[in-house]
Structure 1
Amino acid sequence: MKSLVKKIKEGISEVIFPTICVVCGMKVSASQHFVCTHCLEHKFDLANRQGKQISSDTILPEGIVLQHALWNFDKGGHLQDLLHQLKYNRLTGVGVDLGRQLGKTLLRNPFFIRAIEDQKVRLVPVPLHPKKEQKRGYNQAFYVTRGVAEVTNLHILKKQAIKRVKNTRTQTGFSLEKRRENINGAFKVQRPDLIEEAFCVIIDDVFTTGATTFELAKALRSAGSGNIAIASVAQA
């Protein structure tokens, strides 16, 4: 009886407050939050269509064996707006939708499949400094990571395992040298036992120069992790 009442309530809610895609305005499926299948599959420019080991033109530091982005960033476009909604307007479901799509493309990347084979794998959302997370109310990278985990069935590293100890200024507008200086020493691994010899997949919303994710990778490697992959929704 309760399940019937629940279904009736959900049906009424769907009529009064239909869930529509924030990109195109069409109705989204029950398994999605804010972005419809058509937009996820066709609206944006794939960054790694051929499933390469590196989707950008960045040179990877030693120990980072894969850099994979879902889409190319579209300044002033729908993707930038989506990421803004995720980051600043508390639409965390957008992060889950985008994370699921990112996870699907990771599973189509042969370098990723080979890298995780017979490995202890941990998904690592790029941490926010506690003050910044408290102010925002959440870490957008975590919700992207949750979407990836739903698709790949890989485990998310426990939050207490690694901490952002340096409250860095925003990197926007910085040169590469200034970005590296700004982010240097920003992360501390507090539970090295949780990442020991693990293949760590660092997940973020946008990959630009790699300064932040490379610094996080350095902290993980210094604490005893195995090789590292970097996965992001967009690359700029």
Structure 2
Amino acid sequence: MFLKKFTEGISEILFPKVCTVCGLRLATNENFVCHNCLNDKFEEAYRPGKGSTSDAMLPEGVYLQHALWNFDKGGYLQELLHQLKYHRLTGVGVDIGRQLGKSLLRNPHFMNRIKDRKVCLLPVPLYPKKRRMRGYNQAFYIAEGVAEVTGLYILKKDVIQRIKNTGTQTGFSLEKRRKNIDGAFQVIEPERVKDVLCVIIDDVFTTGATTFELSSELKKAGSGEIMIATAAQA
């Protein structure tokens, strides 16, 4: 035990943990992003009193759209999400998820709806080939952070599958995104979502094409109300 603590102490001196965003040394109770950056570096999207954080028109059955931050193209947040998505910094996803969970708990539209209901967190599934290539699903780690803070459970990944490889939709128009994502998801075990309020978790909400398509399949499978919660909105 002494040797382990000694080794950890030496490692901390030689290779101190620093914040992924600002580069400053992390406190012992911080993980990958310091509290200052999580609380002050990015523009908060949620405004008290609003049912949704964007101006998107929500389809039938989708009760709430909630983003933690407003996307900053070319800024710190874009880089942070890029690190999460493509460089295996999964701990960043958990940090962001915890912050998203706290934001959801401050939203009365969320809190009033989940009372006395069965509620699950649903990370947007990746196409199997893409998941194998990347090695992980970034939305799952965001969901892990949300689960830690809210106490909600994460729906196991095999319940809903992505059956169409849509590729990146960056730069697509809304119509092209909708056409591209059409038929991309399939509910394999509908009994797992029947009458369950599903909170869809993703990294960025842009036009809503992906989460709305997933919502449509959930409704066909008999789910309860649907909410969408993301780290950012563009």
> Per-residue displacement from partner, 1:107-166 (whole Å, max 9, x unpaired)?
000000011100101000000000000111110110111111111110000011000000
Q: What's the secondary structure of 1:233's corresponding residue?
A: strand
How many angstroms apart in 2 are the aligned matches of 1:5 and 1:64? 54
* Residue of structure 2 equivalent to 1:138: 136
**2:121 counterpart SS class:** strand
Q: C-alpha distance in 2, partners of 1:41/1:65?
A: 27
* Cα gap change, 1:9 to 1:52, in 2 (>3 Å): farther
- For residues 18-167 of structure 1, the aligned pairs below 5 Å read 18-50=16-48, 52-167=50-165
Q: How large is the RMSD of aligned CA atoms in angstroms? A: 1.1
The 1-side partners of 2:82 and 2:36 are apart by 20
Q: Give the match's secondary structure for 2:129.
A: helix
Q: Secondary structure of the equivalent of 2:165?
A: coil
**Count of residues paired in the alignment:** 234
Q: How far apart are the structure 1 equivalents of 2:43 and 2:195? A: 35
Please identify, of 31-40 and 83-92, the stretch whose mean Cα deviation from structure 2 is larger.
31-40
Kept in 2, the 8 Å contact 1:161–1:192? The answer is yes
Identity across the alignment (%): 65
Match of 2:12 in 1: 14
Give the TM-score, by structure 1 length.
0.96
Letter in 1 for 2:78: Q
Runs of 4+ in 1 over 6 A off after TM superposition: none
The unaligned stretches of length 5 or more in structure 1 are none
In structure 2, how many angstroms separate the alpha carbons of the residues matched to 1:84 and 1:99? Answer: 15
**Which amino acid counterpart does residue 191 of structure 1 have in structure 2?**
E
Provide the C-alpha distance between the structure 2 equivalents of 1:100 and 1:190, rounded to a whole number of angstroms: 29
CA distance in 2, matches of 1:51, 1:97: 26
User: Hey, what does 2:172 align to over in structure 1?
Assistant: 174
- TM superposition shift of 1:47: 0.5
Could you tell me how far 1:51 is from its partner in structure 2?
Answer: 5.3
Please give the alpha-carbon distance, in whole angstroms, between the structure 2 residues aligned to 1:58 and 1:94: 27
CA contact (8 A) 1:51 1:108 kept: no
Q: Give the partner amino acid of 1:215.
A: E
TM superposition shift of 1:8: 2.6
